Amino acid sequence: MSTMIPEPIPAVMIDDDVEPDRPRPRYGDGGPRRRRAMGTAGIGSRPGFLIYGLLAAFIIGGAYPLWWSVVVGSGTNATRGETLPLLPGGNFFANAAKVLDAIPFWLALGNSIIISAVITVSVVTFSTLAGYAFAKLRFRGRDGLMVFVIATMAIPTQLGIIPLFMVMRELGWTGTIGAVIVPTLVTAFGVFFMRQYLVDVIPDELIEAARVDGANQIRTFFNVALPAARPAMAILGLFTFMMAWTDYLWPLIVLSPTNPTLQTALSQLQSGYYVDYSVVLTGAVLATIPLLVLFVIAGKQLISGIMQGAVKG
């Protein structure tokens, strides 16, 4: 199994955009990194209109489906039939009211927030603890256990949903959000991610020094490891939140339509015999807003997290 993991991409460059308060030269800002900002096409020259044009075309292609759903969502069902509609209509709030009628939107939103928040806190906490132990502490069996973590990263645990469903039913948890939360309280990826980060970031001398100063292990963890781990914890938290928020298969199986997550509720909009697409697309827009807000606040962290390379949500 471990052969399936490509050579681990080192968790370098992690510090790049994570701490906005630290003044640091960025690519293309001049400074010592200016050399890297230069393109590969025209060595030493600025990129031309062709580059910007191609990129803009790609971005418009990605943004138009979203904009289109705003336009249709704010129009009527007839708007969808128009060729390439560009301007939104005035029915958005009327359609939004229909969405709130059709599905328990606020309940679903609350459920999604609770589920994603609990999973995020749990994954980040346990991953940081385990990642720190694997990166900086010596104990018997460490290397073997780490290989185990890496091997399990490639195992698609979703394939265990049938026994998981049986367990949840035995426990009487089906239909409750606890059943959604418990299976993803830890991820092997989180442990691997934190370990890769902490192994480079905390100097061994610092831990030695803490011990010499009389700090016990847990105190060393809180006073030395935790402050150093914070940037990586933010990124891991962001991705875990995204993963929990977007999950569909497991909530669909284990929750009932009366107590849904945002994703399962949204999918119900489409399942009626007659589908009013302006309402359905309004629902899609409403469900996108929370992540859009997250993206505006933490987009930079998201990007630097992805660009560390080893992340796949």
Partner 1 sequence: MTTTIRPPASGSTGTQRRTAASVPLTFRQRLSRFDVKASPYFYVSPFFILFALVGLFPLGYTLVVSMHEWDLLKGQGPFVGFENFVEILGDSMFWNSIGNTISIFLLSSIPQLTIALIVAYLLDQGLRAPTFWRMSVLLPYIVTPVAVAIIFSSAFNEADGLVNNILNIFGIADQEWKHDTFLSHIAIATMVNFRWTGYNALILLAAMQSVPRDLYESAAIDGAGAVRRFFSITIPSIRPTLIFVIITATIGGLQIFTEPRLFDVSTAGGIGGSDRQFQTTVLFMWELAFFRRDFGEAAAVAWLLFLLIVGFGLINFLISRRIATGGDKPDRRTRRARERATRGGAA
Given the complex with partner 1, which of 94 and 252 has the nearer CB atom? Answer: 252
Rule CB under 8 A: is residue 200 a binding residue for partner 1?
A: no
Question: Residue 226: which of 242, 210, 243, 248 has the closest Cα?
Answer: 210
Rule CB under 8 A: is residue 275 a binding residue for partner 1?
A: yes
CA distance 180 to 250: 7
The most distant pair of C-alpha atoms in the chain lies apart, rounded to whole Å, by 74
- The interface region with partner 1, picked from 86-94, 95-103, 159-167, 230-238 by CB under 8 A, is 159-167
- The interface region with partner 1, picked from 94-102, 165-173, 198-206, 226-234 by CB under 8 A, is 165-173
CA distance 177 to 35: 52
Interface of this chain with partner 1, residues 1 to 60, rule: CB under 8 A: 1, 3-7, 9, 12-13, 15, 17, 26-28, 32-33, 35-41, 43, 46-47, 51-52, 54-55, 58-59
Please work out the total of residues on this chain that contact partner 1, with binding judged by CB under 8 A: 127
Q: Using CB under 8 A, which of 21, 144, 204, 218 touches partner 1?
A: 218
CA distances from 25 to 11, 32, 34, 37, 48 (A): 20, 7, 9, 11, 23
Question: In the complex, what is the shortest distance from the CB of residue 155 to partner 1, in angstroms, rounded to a whole number?
Answer: 7
Amino acid identity of residue 263, one-letter, is Q
CA distance 208 to 290: 44
Given the complex with partner 1, which of 183 and 231 has the nearer CB atom? Answer: 183
Here the tokens at position 255 are 């929750």
Rule CB under 8 A: is residue 281 a binding residue for partner 1?
A: yes
Alpha helices (H) in 74-182, listed in sequence order: 92-102, 105-136, 142-153, 161-171, 177-181
Rule CB under 8 A: is residue 97 a binding residue for partner 1?
A: no
Rule CB under 8 A: is residue 234 a binding residue for partner 1?
A: no
Rule CB under 8 A: is residue 256 a binding residue for partner 1?
A: no
